[in-house]
Amino acid sequence: MVTHVVPARKGWDVEKEGQKAPVKHFETKPPAIEKAKAIAKDADRGQIKIHGKDGKTQTEHTYGQDPHPPKG
């Protein structure tokens, strides 16, 4: 399951991929990231994608069993 932190009108939304309505709205980005992390960690294999104000992905994190772990 992929959870996104995306810019929204007057703040940031946490959205689950494939769902139309946001899970939750926040005024600032840090608590939105924390909520997304909590959702991802509750899943067997969760991932978050954090977007910038421009909507582009800034960073991604995977929790649980990563089928494609980084080398090194």
Model pLDDT for residues 7-64, shown as the tens digit of each residue:
999 999 999 999 989 999 999 999 999 999 999 999 888 899 999 999 999 999 988 7
What is the pTM for the complete model shown?
A: 0.86
C-alpha distance from residue 51 to each of 14, 31, 54, 68 (Å): 10, 14, 8, 21
Kindly state whether residue 51 falls inside one of the protein's structural domains: yes
Kindly state whether residue 72 falls inside one of the protein's structural domains: no
- Residue 72 has a pLDDT of 59
Q: How confident is the model at residue 69 (pLDDT cuts 50, 70, 90)?
A: low
Q: How many CB atoms lie within 10 A of CB 56?
A: 7
Nearest Cα to Cα of residue 63 among 38, 35, 32: 38
Residue-number span of the structural domain to which 25 is assigned: 2-64
Q: Looking at the 3D structure of the chain, how many domains does it have? A: 1
Q: Residue 15: helix, strand or coil by DSSP?
A: strand
C-alpha distance from residue 3 to each of 11, 12, 25, 27, 67 (Å): 17, 13, 13, 18, 17
Kindly state whether residue 12 falls inside one of the protein's structural domains: yes
